[in-house]
């Protein structure tokens, strides 16, 4: 076995034309950009000599963005799997084979970490290249939330990795099964300051990952990769971060004997799951049967373990109220008669709560349940039972196995009074939300601008009450003021239909990119999106959060992933109410007014729409949906609002983020 430092130039495994190092790449890029700049200057000069052509003297008609032909060309190429038969394998190739064997569902990156990234693409893993590491990390997260599959993201050492950090944290707190890959500089140059971009990555993610490793022994690259997949896929899913110094990814191996612990996946991990004991089940069944108003909170684990169908059967048999929680919604359908996610008041009547697969436990008082309510918690790992919320019965079990056992053990039971109470509370809450929209409508009419409550209601009516199959469109939401209303009106009618982009970590900004990633999953019809393959994705967001990943509309356009981004443009961060006692600070919260984000979208090859009224929004949604379905084209709908809509003393009656669990939940 040789490490990179031992290699002669002829040893290096390199495809023709591929840059060997980031430095080579940068050098090449510098030449290319210099050439491009020269061409640009020449064309400007030529333009200056061109007579007026209707676009203004001295201006050339700007060509429209073109999708690069490489997208289809690369997609048509066969994938190849490296092996030891012809020549030595690199560490990167070993790792790519591992990812392929583990059926890595998607890979999202911004160039950097070239050897690993290129080998994963070559091995046939669906790979997407975009504009920023942070955006692509969020895209990977969104793809996983929508598809329920393991994904990876990648960036270069140092800067690229740092750019990813916010969205690594967002993925971690949503328990996304995400493999974060980042290259690192050579170990040989460590502590010498002789190489750009060097930093120690692992300490950065120490509190935002399930597993992390800087791989320093080339022969163990496969072993640590396998460990990462074991950590991601077993127990409570989570995030693993591997970083590869050049000595590991570029090392070469003549045969398998030079690689340590290169086992098959059936040997380095197991799919066995914990099942509840008969005694525990008997106790649980007794408690649930005796309860008059039981509520089952179906957490993230119910979605991850695909236990949603058996959950509905079990709940219906015993007439238990069910509420979904987690970073995706829909595994408890919002239109189910036993769904309690819009029956907040009724949840306060529960006399027993059963948490199943609630990976992030609320503290007592965070969830709308009665004070001191008896509680059963079912969780795949013992260590979290009793965390935050005292329990009367704790069961270590796989979520699906528990619900199946419960379904077999519970007797048929009717709870008419409880079902009526849930329905009555839902009706009352819906009426309250409609009254809020009426208030918002008044604000819209008095200002001639769109209030976020009316935007969200219009989107609701468009997606769920017209000719579109209500289960079809994949939605998500972020942003502050928009988010406070979006949860009330977006719906999850089937598993994985709605994504809460800022779940738990509360990151403003990943939402547009995350929903492009989710859009990639529904375009490919992966996992729970299978029945709706090819349907559009829609995100409700704001001008503040959107700014973080707006450029990724280029990525959406490039890959023909149709996203409808409904942007509430209120010319500000929306937090100026915090300056009541410090008015000099108010300017900090303002943007330029009336920025036309729709025009930026057009420049990036997407469509743009501009709306100030509900009717205009309705019409724009129709055109956007048609473009998405027919041509796979994204649209940004710029909904012009008013900065003062954020001020409850001027425009009262709106409220903030609502109680949990339920449609407005974003913390747990």
**Interacting residue ranges for another protein, rule: CB under 8 A:** 292-293, 344-345, 348-349, 351, 364-365, 368, 370-372, 389-390, 421, 429, 432, 436, 480, 484, 506, 508, 575, 577-578, 648-649, 652-659, 666-667
Residue 477's closest CA among 465, 468, 487?
487
Min CB(301)–another protein separation in Å: 23
Residue 482's closest CA among 455, 509, 458, 504?
455
Residue 479 vs 635, nearer CB to another protein: 479
267 alpha-carbon distance from chain centroid:
31
- For residue 358, count other CB atoms closer than 10 A to its CB: 27
Measured CA distances, 284 to 15, 200, 402 (Å): 60, 48, 10
Residue 30 vs 435, nearer CB to another protein: 435
Residue 233 vs 432, nearer CB to another protein: 432
Residue 404 vs 421, nearer CB to another protein: 421
Min CB(303)–another protein separation in Å: 23
Residue 151 vs 654, nearer CB to another protein: 654
What are the structure tokens assigned to 143, written together?
């793809």
Residue 394, strand partner residues = 377
Handedness of CA 222, 226, 228, 232 (dihedral sign): positive
Query: In whole angstroms, what is the distance from residue 138 CA to residue 141 CA?
Result: 5
Measured CA distances, 332 to 297, 422, 593 (Å): 9, 15, 41
Min CB(657)–another protein separation in Å: 5
Q: What angle do CA 636, 639, 641 make, to 5 degrees?
A: 150
Are 352 and 326 in contact, with CB atoms under 8 Å apart?
no
Residue 635, strand partner residues = 564, 607
Residue 143 vs 505, nearer CB to another protein: 505
Min CB(631)–another protein separation in Å: 37
Min CB(507)–another protein separation in Å: 11
Residue 599 vs 650, nearer CB to another protein: 650
Min CB(577)–another protein separation in Å: 7
**Kind and range of the H or E run holding 541:** strand 537-542
Min CB(103)–another protein separation in Å: 37
Residue 637's closest CA among 601, 593, 595?
601
Query: In whole angstroms, what is the distance from residue 523 CA to residue 507 CA?
Result: 25
Query: In whole angstroms, what is the distance from residue 664 CA to residue 668 CA?
Result: 10
Min CB(328)–another protein separation in Å: 20
Min CB(547)–another protein separation in Å: 16
Query: In whole angstroms, what is the distance from residue 343 CA to residue 323 CA?
Result: 9
Residue 25 vs 657, nearer CB to another protein: 657
Query: In whole angstroms, what is the distance from residue 453 CA to residue 449 CA?
Result: 12
Min CB(317)–another protein separation in Å: 24
Min CB(178)–another protein separation in Å: 24
Are 362 and 299 in contact, with CB atoms under 8 Å apart?
no
Residue 241 vs 377, nearer CB to another protein: 377
| DSSP per residue, 209-226 | -SEEEE---GGGHHHHHH
What are the structure tokens assigned to 248, written together?
């590991």
Min CB(442)–another protein separation in Å: 15
What are the structure tokens assigned to 464, written together?
């769920």
Residue 579 vs 613, nearer CB to another protein: 579
What are the structure tokens assigned to 262, written together?
């290169």
Are 153 and 140 in contact, with CB atoms under 8 Å apart?
yes
Residue 511 vs 602, nearer CB to another protein: 511
Min CB(436)–another protein separation in Å: 8
Tell how strand 498-500 and strand 328-329 pair up. Answer: antiparallel
User: 47 Cβ partners below 8 Å, 6+ apart?
Assistant: 58, 59, 60
Residue 133 vs 421, nearer CB to another protein: 421
Residue 21 vs 439, nearer CB to another protein: 439
Q: How many CA atoms lie within 13 A of 574 on its CB side?
A: 24
């Amino acid at each position: 076995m040789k490490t990179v430092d031992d290699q002669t130039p002829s040893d290096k495994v390199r495809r023709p034309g591929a840059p060997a190092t980031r430095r080579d790449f940068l050098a090449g890029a510098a030449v290319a950009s210099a050439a491009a700049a020269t061409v640009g200057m020449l064309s400007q000069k030529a333009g200056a000599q061109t007579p007026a052509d209707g676009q203004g003297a001295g201006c050339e008609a700007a060509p429209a963005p073109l999708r690069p032909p490489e997208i289809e060309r690369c997609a048509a190429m066969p994938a190849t799997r490296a092996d030891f038969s012809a020549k030595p394998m690199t560490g990167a190739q070993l790792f790519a084979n591992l990812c392929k064997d583990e059926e890595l569902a998607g890979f999202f990156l911004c160039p950097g970490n070239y050897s690993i990234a290129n080998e994963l693409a070559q091995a046939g893993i669906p790979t997407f290249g975009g504009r920023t590491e942070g955006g692509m990390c969020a895209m990977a997260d969104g793809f996983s939330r929508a598809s329920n599959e393991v994904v990876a993201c990648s960036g270069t050492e140092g800067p690229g990795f740092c750019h990813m950090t916010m969205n690594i944290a967002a993925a971690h707190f949503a328990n996304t099964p995400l493999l974060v890959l980042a290259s690192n500089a050579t170990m040989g140059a460590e502590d010498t300051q002789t190489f750009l971009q060097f930093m120690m990555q692992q300490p950065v993610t120490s509190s935002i990952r399930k597993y992390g490793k800087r791989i320093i022994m080339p022969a163990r690259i496969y072993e640590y990769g396998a460990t990462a997949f074991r950590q991601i896929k077993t127990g409570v899913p989570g995030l693993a971060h591997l970083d590869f110094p050049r000595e590991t990814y570029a090392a070469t191996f003549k045969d398998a004997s030079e690689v340590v612990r290169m086992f098959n996946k059936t040997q380095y991990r197991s799919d066995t799951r914990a099942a509840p004991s008969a005694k525990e089940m008997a106790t649980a069944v007794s408690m649930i049967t005796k309860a008059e108003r039981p509520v089952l909170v179906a957490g993230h684990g119910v979605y991850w373990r695909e236990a949603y169908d058996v959950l509905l059967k079990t709940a219906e048999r015993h007439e238990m109220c069910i509420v979904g929680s987690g970073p995706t919604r829909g595994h408890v359908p919002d239109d189910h008669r036993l769904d309690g996610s819009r029956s907040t008041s009724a949840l306060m009547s529960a006399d027993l709560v059963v948490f199943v697969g609630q990976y992030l436990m609320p503290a007592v008082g965070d969830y709308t349940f009665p004070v001191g309510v008896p509680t059963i918690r079912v969780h795949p790992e013992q260590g979290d039972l009793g965390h935050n919320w005292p329990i009367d019965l704790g069961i270590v079990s796989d979520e699906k196995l528990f619900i199946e056992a419960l379904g077999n053990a519970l007797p048929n039971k009717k709870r008419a009074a409880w079902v009526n109470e849930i329905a009555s509370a839902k009706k009352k809450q819906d009426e309250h939300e409609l009254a809020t929209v009426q208030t918002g409508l008044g604000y819209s009419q008095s200002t001639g601008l769109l209030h976020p409550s009316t935007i969200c209601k219009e989107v609701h009516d468009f997606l769920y009450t017209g000719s579109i199959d209500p289960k079809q469109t994949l939605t998500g939401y972020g942003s502050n003021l928009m988010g406070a209303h979006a949860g009330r009106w977006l719906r999850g009618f089937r598993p994985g239909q709605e994504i809460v982009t800022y779940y738990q970590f509360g990151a403003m900004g990943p939402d547009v990119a995350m929903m492009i990633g989710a859009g990639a999953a529904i375009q490919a019809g992966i996992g729970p999106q299978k029945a709706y393959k090819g349907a559009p994705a829609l995100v409700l967001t704001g001008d503040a959060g959107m700014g973080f990943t707006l450029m990724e509309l280029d990525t959406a356009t490039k890959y023909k992933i149709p996203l409808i981004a409904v942007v509430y443009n209120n010319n500000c961060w929306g937090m100026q109410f915090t300056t009541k006692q410090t008015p000099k600070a108010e300017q900090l919260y303002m943007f330029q007014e009336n920025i036309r984000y729709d025009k930026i979208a057009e420049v990036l090859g997407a469509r743009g729409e501009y709306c100030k009224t509900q009717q205009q929004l309705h019409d724009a949604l129709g055109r956007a949906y048609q473009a998405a379905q027919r041509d796979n084209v994204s649209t940004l709908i710029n909904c012009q609002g008013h900065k003062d809509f954020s001020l409850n003393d001027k425009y009262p009656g709106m409220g903030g983020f609502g109680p949990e669990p339920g449609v407005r939940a974003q913390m747990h």
